[in-house]
A and B are shown apart, each in its own frame.
Chain A
């Protein structure tokens, strides 16, 4: 028993289709891919919000900001 159904390469390749592991779970893998992608946006937005909040709280006097503008 193997994870892709192949036990030997002593076959005619014209009769062989997909050879990745766990064939038949393509739908599940697409769902996992979608969850991964959407999850990334959620996590990234949380991080970016926290970063922006920290930036908003920083440099109350505006001194560093003016120096940054001067440096271009």
Chain B
């Protein structure tokens, strides 16, 4: 690194993203608590492991190919150009490991420019994007509990977490993504690229999977299957809120000079930017994150009549629905979007459940899918005419571009997941047999636990004098 200012900026940026990764891990602690809290006692352990094992699986596959997809596919390819070379993101490249910015003799695939930029940033950028990937996969996990096979979920988790979402991020959440260039797509904090796609995938999985036994009465009326531990659910959601601070911060570039953005922004003022390299501030997203969360919780408390599950879930939905434009909204606009969109999503959840017999155990399709979709659509109107990028020649933000983008996000999650679930179902790998569902997923584990308790108890009692 040449020059103290460059070194300081690089190491500050490296540390900034590293902190966001740590914070985002809380999202997954929250997801696990939340999902276990919603499941019934006889399904706890397998429910926990189903979600938790998505972390290592998506991590390995995101290293092997997910990270490269992000840099390779911003043009489609075939829509705005060809495949983009991204040697620094290939898993066999020396920059995908410990590297100190020089180029060793015989070191292949590393240019001095790539080495200078990526040697300290590759791992932390990869990690931050990976945490988005795991979040996207985890969103699906809760909706399918208590009847889906873990193995089926893990295949879908890799598909969505390490392929589909990162492909849509390359298209619509990349400074040179074709959706940004051609459609003016704007989705700064991932309403569409994370949440709508995950909601679409969850909906596809649920349609093929079918409802839990007992969810619907013979006449088709839905029964309520209450969470076994509302405390665990709400603390889980609190942790997801906390982790979302890291998620938001990781969507920004913390510090960049106008010169680094190819001189598109004039003057000498350094700034934070969104993922499209357009200026914003951490203050802006702090205002808007909290106001949209508050809008969702306040509306959720009223429409659900104080139900803790839905009050917290609608708080999350409030954030998700304002996320597409939370880099640019006024706080009161974020509050109102955060209140109105989750109210629509809540109503839609119960309408879809009644009308189409979709058993979404945690409301993930509503909170993430409908919330993310509507959030992107609303941003298209609210930010109409604003520049989507600092680069010349990009389309401006507009309602049609964002609507088309929102539809594309949902379809990109829905269609491939539907096909894969159909194949898995045809191979009898999607759902457990009814007997296992009724016994509970932890049946054998619980028996082993009780046998161990009896055995050790008997041994201990024999020693009591």
Residue positions of A touching B, CB distance < 8 A: 1-4, 6-16, 19-22, 26, 29-30, 32-33, 36, 40, 43-44, 47, 51
A42 to chain B, nearest CB (A): 10
Pair count A-B, CB < 8 A: 92
Q: Is B384 an interface residue (CB 8 A)?
A: yes
Q: How far is the CB of B390 from chain A (nearest CB, A)?
A: 4
B329 near A13: Cβ-Cβ < 8 Å: no
Contact assessment for B330 and A13 in the assembled complex, using a CB-CB cutoff below 8 Å: no
Are B265 and A3 in contact, with the CB atoms below 8 A? Answer: no
The complex places the Cα of A39 from the Cα of B410 at a distance, in Å, of: 34
Chain A contacts for B221, CB-based, 8 A: none
Chain A residues, Cβ within 8 Å of B396: 2, 7
Contact A26 B330 (CB under 8 A): yes
Cβ-defined contact, B301 with A13, below 8 A: no
Also in contact, A21 and B265, with CB within 8 A (given A2-B386, A6-B386, A13-B279): no
Q: How large is the interface on B (under 10, 10 to 19, 20 to 34, 35 or more residues)?
A: 35 or more
Query: Is the beta-carbon distance between A14 and B267 smaller than 8 angstroms?
Result: yes
Of the candidates A3, A9, A44, A47, the one having the most CB atoms from chain B within 10 angstroms of its own CB is A9
Cα A70 to Cα B333 with chains together (Å): 49
Contact between chains at A3 and B382 (CB < 8 Å): yes
Chain B's closest residue to A32 (CB) is B332
Interface residues of B in 308-347 (CB under 8 A from A): 328-330, 332-333, 335-336, 339
Q: Contacts A26-B330, A47-B305 known; A10 to B392 CB distance under 8 Å? A: yes
Residues of B within 8 A of A3 (CB): 382-386
Say whether B302 contacts A44, CB under 8 Å. yes
Q: Decide: A8 and B269 in contact? CB cutoff 8 A.
A: no
CB distance from A53 to the nearest CB of B (A): 14
Q: How far does the Cβ of A6 sit from chain B's closest Cβ, in whole Å?
A: 6
